[in-house]
Amino acid sequence: MGNWIINHGLSAFILVVWMGINIFLFVYHYLLYDQQERFFYTRHILGSALAWARAPAAVLNFNCMLILLPVCRNLLSLIRGNFLCCARSVRNQLDKNLTFHKLVAYMIALMTAVHTIAHLFNLERYNNSRQGLYDNLNTELSELGDTPNETYLNPIRSTSTTPTYVAFTTIAGLTGVIITLALILMVTSSMEVIRRSYFEVFWYTHHLFIIFFAGLVFHGAGRIVRGIQSTDMPHNVSFCKDQPTNWGLIPECPIPQFAGGFPQTWKWVIAPMVLYLCERILRFIRYMQKVTYRKIVIHPSKVLELQLVKPGFKMAVGQYVFLNCPDISMLEWHPFTMTSAPEEDFFSVHIRVVGDWTEKLTSMVQKIPEGGQGPKISVDGPFGTASEDVFDYEVSMLVGCGIGVTPFASVLKSIWYKFKESNPTLRTRKIYFYWLCRETHAFEWFADLLQVLEQEMEERGMSNFLTYKLFLTGWDQSHVAYMKVHVDKETDVVTGLKQKTHYGRPNWDNEFAQIRSENPTSNIGTFLCGPEALAETLTKKCTKFSAIDPRGIKFYFNKENF
């Protein structure tokens, strides 16, 4: 249990608090509209659907306040880097910003469904009541407002209309339809299969959030849910409810005055909307800043390397940037982890050529004459990630899959630069590096860096500082036959490194057991840039191999998220 708390305790606490606030808001507002005397006559027309419509609305306000905060990346980077109170466990939660963003989105989708269905029943009840299909009190309540100096309770003011017509002609109805359609498009286009195969569809559709929030702010302006308004001549509901024909005729029963509540949503969302607007303004400023190419390399493994220079640009290891190429699209920004080290006078990204945007960019740079500048490119960032904390641990375990090795390229380069100093100051005393690739070409661009590190460590007598293992997960019999022929070579036939390439996938139980035996009392940071399936596996292993004894070894899991 203690091991589980190490990696999941704070996440679970935040989840419980968030869910508790949601439950409280739902129950509180449900009971408010279900029991408060002010809404007695409204409940008489609408029944329980009134409370079922208003309770989700309160939950929606809360979650719409939260939904933008996890994607205010500059705000998160500020919290991560500039606040001394931001402990390691808190920074770990910042790396789960997109997970929380999705969780809040699911809650918004659920509450929108409940809110919409309940209001569809409400419209039907309002319309039927206006046409006199229910009891006498319903009819009297619906006819209020037909004569001068009366306020109305039923927002449907005609006996010859339909709920559909009302839904598309009132402020509340029309904005409700618009924001619901926008939400449906945003949620469906965010599915994993759409984001991976048709990223542009996801990207453009997700910007419907502008329409969503605009509609949300105006949605309550119609004030269709109305309750009894306090006046100098109070209307005694318990006494007057059974004699609507006497309303206005006896002192105890003046004609009730009704009013809708003042719109509240804007109060919830104005602050995050301003924060997000600042994010976009900052992005525009960065969009206008000049970026020049230092070097362009197209590797055989369908990986494009861009070395870029931007005045005033400062980075930390493992951080990422968003790139925009106006010649492809002025609106699309794509995230890429930087592979350069902070000690270098440029920053670089390695881009796997997959998808329309990367293919177009590669096609454009291939046509550039040698030494020429590439297409105009804009850079937003850098932004913080989990990999920034690599040097905060005594021992770090780095796991990269395919192009997911990029944050660790930055880490290893920085180590190399630190060791070039006469007296390097480094808290980390041991790094275990694992790289899983499906094809041999993927090793090509990164093997040179590992060779340099191998040589540097040997010259300094620190060959034990870096332990790395490369795994070729996609291989056939021709690879095996070739490996057997060259088995006696001093260096690996695939990478040219002294460490031989492994075929197949790692046995993580064996790897964790070995690390635990070599570092029995250390805090070990486990960092992954790879798929969710592997993240689940490594999370379980971190829990399994952490010692129960507080003085024993502890594995802390960290994952890159964009």
Strand, coil or helix: what is 227?
strand
The segment(s) of the chain belonging to CATH 2.40.30.10 are 291-383
Residues 6 or more apart whose CB falls under 8 angstroms from that of 418 comprise 343, 424, 425, 426
Compute the half-sphere exposure of residue 143: CA atoms within 13 Å on the CB side of its CA: 14
Q: What is the pLDDT tens value at each position of the chain, 562 positions in all? A: 555 666 667 788 899 999 999 999 999 999 999 999 899 999 999 999 999 999 999 999 999 999 999 988 888 888 776 554 456 666 777 778 888 999 999 999 999 999 999 999 999 999 999 888 888 888 888 888 888 878 888 888 888 888 888 888 888 889 999 999 999 999 999 988 888 778 888 888 999 999 999 999 998 888 888 888 887 788 888 888 888 888 888 888 888 888 888 888 889 999 999 999 998 898 888 888 999 998 888 877 778 889 999 998 888 888 889 999 999 988 888 889 888 888 888 999 988 888 788 889 989 988 887 767 788 999 998 888 877 788 888 888 999 887 777 788 888 888 877 777 655 667 788 889 888 887 666 666 677 667 777 777 777 666 677 888 888 876 655 555 444 444 445 555 555 566 667 778 889 999 999 988 888 878 888 888 888 888 889 988 888 888 877 777 888 888 876 6
Task: Kindly report whether the peptide bond that precedes residue 382 is cis, defined as omega within 30 degrees of 0.
Answer: yes
Complete edge-to-edge strand list for the sheet that includes strand 502-503: 502-503, 466-472, 430-437, 395-401, 523-529, 554-559
Question: Using an 8 Å Cβ cutoff, are 395 and 429 in contact?
Answer: yes
Compute the half-sphere exposure of residue 200: CA atoms within 13 Å on the CB side of its CA: 9
C-alpha triplet 555, 559, 562: angle, nearest 5°: 170
- Taking CA atoms, 56 is separated from 25, 181, 311, 337, in Å, by 8, 18, 49, 39
Per-residue exposure over 169-206, b if at least 16 CB sit within 10 Å of its own CB, e if not: ebebbbbbebbbebbebbbebeeeeeeeeebeebbebb
Strand partners, 306: 296, 349
Neighbour-count burial of 95, counting CB atoms closer than 10 A to its CB (0-12 exposed, 13-18 middle, 19+ buried): buried
- CATH number for the segment(s) 386-559: 3.40.50.80
Question: Using an 8 Å Cβ cutoff, are 186 and 106 in contact?
Answer: no
For residue 482, what pLDDT is reported? 44
CA distance 487 to 470: 16
C-alpha triplet 195, 201, 203: angle, nearest 5°: 75
For residue 118, what pLDDT is reported? 95
Taking each helix axis from N to C terminus, what angle separates 532-545 and 508-518, rounded to the nearest 10 degrees? 40
Residue 102 is encoded by which pair of tokens? 């999705």
Residue type, 453: L
For residue 175, what pLDDT is reported? 92
Evaluate the CA torsion angle 378, 380, 386, 392 in order and state its sign: positive
- Taking CA atoms, 512 is separated from 211, 257, 401, 414, 504, in Å, by 49, 71, 18, 25, 17
Strand, coil or helix: what is 469?
strand
Residue 95 is encoded by which pair of tokens? 């790396």
Q: How many residues in total does the chain contain?
A: 562
For residue 441, what pLDDT is reported? 65
- Taking CA atoms, 390 is separated from 109, 465, 471, in Å, by 37, 14, 22
Strand, coil or helix: what is 506?
coil
Tell me phi and psi for residue 352, to 5 degrees.
-75, 130
Question: Using an 8 Å Cβ cutoff, are 524 and 554 in contact?
Answer: yes
Q: Domain 291-383 belongs to what architecture?
A: Beta Barrel (2.40)
For the residues of 300-325, what is the DSSP string, one character each? Answer: TTTEEEEEEE-TT----TT-EEEEE-
The segment(s) of the chain belonging to CATH 3.40.50.80 are 386-559
For residue 93, what pLDDT is reported? 76
CA distance 510 to 446: 26
CA distance 118 to 122: 6
